[in-house]
Amino acid sequence: MPTRIIFPQKGKVALQGFVLPGPGPDDIKVRTLYSLMSIGTERIILNQTYDPDTHFARMFSFPQLQTGVQAVAEVEELGRSVSEFKAGDHICIRKAHGSHQLLAAEDCSPLPRGIDLKSACWAGLAKTAYRASWAAPFEPGRHILVIGAGPVGQMAIRWAAVAGVESIAVVDLSPARLEHARRGGATHIFNSDIAECLDEIQTLNDGAGPSIVLDVTGNPAVLKHALAAAAQFGKVILLGDTGYPSKQRLSSDVMMKGLTILATHESHDRGGWTQRRIDHLFFQEVLSGRFDLSGLITHEFLPGDCKQAYALANEQTEQVMGILFDWGDRNAG
C-alpha cells in the first residue's frame, strides 16, 4: 500500500497508508525515489506558527496531508493521452512526502541524463529563490546581502553567483550554514545578528551598502534591519515567508532612502519563467558545475523515521540544511 507523511495534529507527525487511484487521461502515476523537506515552511505548518488571518491559515489545517513540495520520482503508469513521458523516466515533482503520487503530466519536469537524483530534489527551493533572482534582478555590478542562510538562502546565494553579481554578503548566526554559503559563492560572511553588523555592512559597495537586500529569515523582526542595511534607492526583497506579517514594521529608511520593497513567492510565474523553464535552467547549471550543491543534504531518513526527522528540524535548526527522505522500495511501508 502507498504511504505518506502527514501531520495529524499540531506538532505531530505520522506515516499513513492511503489508496491511490489509477491515472486519468492526462495524468501519470509515479513512484517517489527521494523527497526533500522544505524546513522553514513545513515547520511553520507543523507547529502552526502563524496568524489566523494569513494564507497559511486559509490553506492549511489538521490533519494536514500536504507536507512537502519537492521530490524526484520514477514514472510507473501513464494516462492514455500522455505522450511526452514513458514508464521508467525520472522526473521532478511538486508533491507531498509520499511513496506514490498521481499528478498531471504537465506539472512534471523531466530530469536530464547525468543529474544526481538526490541533488535534483533542490529544484523546488531553487525555483523559490530564482523568483527573487529574476525580480531583483541579479546581474553583474550588483552588491547583494542575504539575511538568513537556510535552504532558500543557500539557493539565492548560488543564483547570485551564477549571475555574476559583484559581491554576495551573507548574515547568519550558524557557522555551519555560513560555511555552506561560502562554498556556494558568498564573498562576505557575517556570523552575527543582523542588528550587530549593520555598520560593517554599510561599508560594502564602496561605502554605499548593498543595493539589493534579501530577507530570507521568515522572522518579522528582521525587516527593519533589512531596510537599515539597504543602500539609497536600493531594493529589499521579502523571500522568507513569515507566519506573522502583522509584526513586520516599516521604518523611516523607506522614505529617506527611497527604497523599494518587493515580495516574491514560488507561485509567481512572471516573464515567461514557468516551473519547467526554471527547472531546466537549474538542472543545466548543476550539470555544468556552476551551481554547487555539494554537502547541502546533511541528513537522510527513512519515511518510517519521519518523527525523528521533524524533531531534528525543530530542535537543531542551525545545524541542519537538507533533510532527505529515501522512498526506495524497501522503505515504502
Name the residue among 172, 218, 211, 177 with its Cα closest to residue 194: 172
pLDDT of 132 strictly over 80: yes
CB-CB neighbours of 49 under 10 Å: 14
Helix, strand and coil percent figures for the chain, each rounded to 5? 35, 25, 45
Length reported for the chain: 333
Residue-averaged pLDDT of the chain: 95
Query: Per-domain residue ranges for the chain?
Result: 3-122+296-331, 128-263
Alpha-carbon distance of 216 to 218, in angstroms, equals 6
Sign of the four-CA dihedral 72, 75, 81, 85: positive
Report how far Cα 46 is from the mean position of its chain's Cα atoms.
17
pLDDT of 185 strictly over 80: yes
Comparing 25 with 66, which gets the higher pLDDT? 25
Span 256-284, average pLDDT: 95
Cα atoms in the Cβ-side hemisphere of radius 13 Å centred on 36: 26
Domain 3-122+296-331's class?
alpha beta
Q: What is the pLDDT of residues 194-230, one digit of tens each?
A: 999 999 999 999 999 999 999 999 999 999 999 999 9
pTM: 0.95
Q: What is the pLDDT of residues 7-38, one digit of tens each?
A: 999 999 999 999 999 999 999 999 999 999 99
pLDDT of 270 strictly over 90: no
Rounded to the nearest 10°, the torsion over CA 300, 124, 169, 272 is 170
**What pLDDT score was predicted for residue 249?**
95
pLDDT of 139 strictly over 50: yes
Q: Do 3-122+296-331 and 128-263 show the same overall fold?
A: no
> pLDDT > 90: what percent of the chain?
94
DSSP 313: H
- The DSSP line for 103-156 is EEGGG-EEPPTT--HHHHTTHHHHHHHHHHHHHTT--TT-EEEEE--SHHHHHH
Which pLDDT band, with edges at 50, 70 and 90, does 240 fall under?
Answer: confident
Q: Which CATH architecture has domain 128-263?
A: 3-Layer(aba) Sandwich (3.40)
Alpha-carbon distance of 17 to 190, in angstroms, equals 45
Q: What does the block give as the cell for 5?
A: 507523511
Which pLDDT band, with edges at 50, 70 and 90, does 331 fall under?
Answer: very low
Span 95-109, average pLDDT: 95
Please, which residues have CB within 8 angstroms of residue 187's CB and are 6 or more apart in sequence? Answer: 167, 168, 169
**What pLDDT score was predicted for residue 329?**
61
What ranges make up the beta strands (E) of the chain? 3-6, 14-17, 27-36, 71-78, 90-93, 100-104, 109-110, 143-147, 167-171, 188-190, 212-215, 235-238, 260-263, 297-301, 322-326
Name the residue among 117, 112, 114, 115 with its Cα closest to residue 31: 117
> Crossing angle, helix 151-163 and helix 123-135, to 10 degrees?
50
**What pLDDT score was predicted for residue 333?**
38
**What pLDDT score was predicted for residue 241?**
87
Alpha-carbon distance of 278 to 301, in angstroms, equals 28
